[in-house]
Amino acid sequence: MITRRTLAALPVLAAAGPTLARSKLPIVIAHRGASGERPEHTRLAYELAIAEGADFIEPDLVVTKDGHLVVRHENEIGGTTDVANRPEFAARKTTKTIDGESVTGWFTEDFTLAELKTLRARERLPQLRPGSAKFDGHAEIPTFEEVVKLAKAKGVGIYPEMKHPTYFAGLGLPLEPRLAGALKAAGLDSATAKVFVQCFEVEPLRTFGRLSKARRVMLVSQGAAPVDVASEAGIKAIAGFAEGLGPEWPLVVPVKDGALAAPTPLVGWAHAAGLQVHPWTVRAENAFLPKTLQRGAGPAAHGDATALLKALYAAGVDGVFSDFPELAVKARA
């Protein structure tokens, strides 16, 4: 097992700057459930993730027309449900501007919860994940309340993401009070609860912090971002409104010439500021791995995701998001 002593002895950490000693193993966060093996954000995916040893399951949150929190990666559901094949909903197809981008499809905010419950989930990436696609039509869209009940019953944590909160607030359907209320109702409104609330937007995290004591995580992707993760001062500023940082994994272990390079200083800076670091998202398929970790033929073949996971653990992260939680659990051991 990885211990503080073995982590401290790993030479790769020298390039990452100073880190805080950790008393616990890194957590494994099942990204949308075991979404590499079952259609994402379904009870099937969450139950498999829990069986594979995930410590947390991740529900992305959007809102229905009648104000319920439901679990979808996006409010556009044409790619993850059978709505396109449902003639009774054909007239609901429309084009909207979501966070500055034009999106055409069907949107949760145009459906009541009862209507959404008639739909069935399907695999978002069937060409890459044909095994998961075999479960198309087997599961409905869960509510956030249903996912919380499952997590509590199984003893795992939840890691909800507020999706497009500014957009939903503009519709009169704000996410922050709904999420805070749901956590309070479930007895999870504390800094010690098995909960992290994540978002790519700063102000919604600030707003949520005034409504709930649950821990917050600032998500950051490569490229342009609303926060600075390229300097220690920028990381310290994030600690003013969050307890954790969720960087896209190459911000921790970059890729150079198709191979994993030495870690950046990000983890050390974050730990010095009191932030946990939970990078996203490790996937097994060649399509998502650096060239030197790809194996077999074609983008759907599975490469050496274990090497990537071990590199992230060695860099001192406090947790990892993965579509394949079983791989993350095994790589940690």
Residues with catalytic roles: 31, 73
Amino acid at 45: A
How is residue 76 annotated by DSSP?
Answer: B
Q: What are phi and psi of 141, to 5 degrees?
A: -80, 120
Lay out the sheet containing 60-63: strands in order across: 69-71, 60-63, 161-162, 196-199, 215-220, 244-247, 276-277
Distance (Å, whole) CA 264 – CA 132: 34
Q: What are phi and psi of 89, to 5 degrees?
A: -115, 10
**Residue 88: both structure tokens together:** 């009774």
Query: DSSP alpha helices (H): ranges in 18-85?
Result: 43-51
3-class secondary structure, 169: helix
Instruction: Report which of 305, 258, 242, 253 is spatially closest to residue 279, judged by C-alpha positions.
Output: 253
Q: How far apart are the first and last CA of the chain?
A: 5
